[in-house]
Amino acid sequence: KSKFASFASFGKAQQGHLCLQDHGNLVSYRNIKIRLPRADDAAPKSSDSKMDLEVVEAFPQLKWEDFEGADENGRVQVLRPVELIHPGDGTNRLFAADQRGRIYAINNQADVKEATVILDIQDRVQAHDAASNVNEEGLLGMAIHPKFKQNGYVFVYYTSNKSSLKNGRFSYVSRFTVDRSTGTASGDSELILMKIDQPFANHNGGPMTFGNDGLLYIGFGDGGGRNDPDGRGQDLSNLMGTILRIDVDHKSAGKNYAIPADNPFLQTKGALPEIYAYGIRNPWRIANDPLTGNIWIADVGQDQWEEINILRKGANYGWSIAEGSYGFGNAKVNPNVKVTDPIWEYDHQIGKSVTGGYVYRGKVFPKLVGCYLFADYTSGRIWALRYDSKRQQVTENIQLRGTGSPVMAFGLDEQGEVYFTGESVNGKSIFKFRPN
């Protein structure tokens, strides 16, 4: 029991008190909130083991069409591939989405020379300002329709450059169609599925993936602003801070998509029917593992914790009641709501911005098969997380790289091999591992 507990001005103690003194002339004391340890009284380790791997450029000779690293005025242009996925059409290509508003096609060969533009929507995208780094906007998500070979559908999420103080900020979820004869998509092929209001220039979200059910899952951040100022993460009446699930092959009245009949909040008063899960702060990549059907979510934290989640129907992942598995205490939301803890978390002594990846199903690294690869953007660390679905717990976390350059996103090819991307001014933005 704290020896200061008898002082009425301290208030009623639940766990005791902590007194801080600077040994100067003035002494002050106050009640402060301390995050208690988890029930097992142990913080998760940053890694259980390491693999001796080497990072190399995946395509050393690659040049990006119409990318020079500087514009006509000499201003630096930064390449930021935020998505790298294969179209699943048997062509052994990769599609790379650059945050500035272009999608490129890359033949997946070590000696490939050029990434060619297949879609350019820079005319409508509010690009990330690399010079000031004040916003997190741009082309932020891409998903390829499971029947791309037949229909050519590519889905993107981008923030609009039509945003203004008068009109407000907003983003679009849109569909574009790649023409079979040209192999490219025209901006005129755009079909807008959703328009989303954005209160701030950060936490815009945007990652997308198709599930094994053929439905499109879309992640939205809380809309920005420190501490989730309007409590959007726990508000089912808006799209912020959620994972949506929609049917893009059918249409409901007044929409260019349909609402799945088994979405969890259809009967919840005031809830938007598109919502599948909520309590998300800023999801930076979501990914489906076709073998298990698990959809993985990497959610960026604020002050203390970065987290990895597996999507569950109707789940509340806590923000802004909780950050990771620890209380956060936003006064604008109900603290008594049941939340789903992350399957993995790490604190800000290890890294400060998680980048989600993919479950490895390739052949080059047998030890990693079934592991979820993820990274930290600020520290550059990369890990492989092994999760036991039956026991619903992590059994191993393998460090693949210590500190290094920032990891923007991960990529996946038709063979299940995984890549990762970084920003650059010289086009050297796609990397992979090889045994050292």
| pLDDT digit string, tens, across residues 103-137 | 999 999 999 999 999 999 999 998 777 665 556 88
Cα(294)–Cα(292) distance, integer angstroms: 5
For residue 130, the model assigns a pLDDT of: 62
Q: How confident is the model at residue 369 (pLDDT cuts 50, 70, 90)?
A: very high
Q: Which residue, among 140, 432, 46, 83, has the nearest Cα to 287 in the 3D structure?
A: 83
Phi–psi pair at 233, nearest 5 degrees: -60, -25
For residue 305, the model assigns a pLDDT of: 96
Tokens of 106: 């890359």
| Sign of CA pseudo-dihedral 140, 210, 277, 359 | negative
First to last CA, the chain: 55
For residue 327, the model assigns a pLDDT of: 87
For residue 31, the model assigns a pLDDT of: 42
Tokens of 101: 């508003």
Domains of the chain: 1-34 (no CATH), 48-435 (2.120.10.30)
Mean pLDDT of 284-289: 98
Q: Which residue has the tokens 């990497």?
A: 298
Asked if the bond preceding 320 is cis, omega within 30° of 0, the reply is yes
Q: Is pLDDT above 50 for 30?
A: no
Q: Which residue, among 379, 370, 354, has the nearest Cα to 285 in the 3D structure?
A: 354
427 vs 334, higher pLDDT? 427
Q: Which residue, among 256, 239, 344, has the nearest Cα to 299 in the 3D structure?
A: 344
Residues 6+ apart with CB under 8 A from 234: 241, 278, 279, 316, 319, 320, 321, 330, 333, 334, 337
Q: How many residues in the chain?
A: 436
Mean pLDDT of 390-407: 94
Cβ atoms 159, 224 nearer than 8 A: no
Question: Are β-strands 139-144 and 114-120 bridged in parallel, bridged antiparallel, or unpaired?
Answer: unpaired
| pLDDT digit string, tens, across residues 329-356 | 765 666 678 899 999 999 999 999 999 9
3-state secondary structure of 326: strand
* pLDDT > 90 fraction of the chain, expressed in percent and rounded: 72
Q: Is pLDDT above 50 for 27?
A: no
Q: Is pLDDT above 50 for 32?
A: no
Mean pLDDT of 29-45: 48
Q: Which residue has the tokens 């208030």?
A: 11
Q: Is pLDDT above 70 for 228?
A: yes
Tell me 2's DSSP state.
-
Cβ atoms 418, 355 nearer than 8 A: no
pTM of structure: 0.89
| pLDDT digit string, tens, across residues 170-207 | 999 999 999 999 999 999 999 999 999 887 777 777 89
Q: Which residue, among 345, 290, 340, has the nearest Cα to 315 in the 3D structure?
A: 340
322 vs 74, higher pLDDT? 322
Q: Which residue has the tokens 């080497």?
A: 54
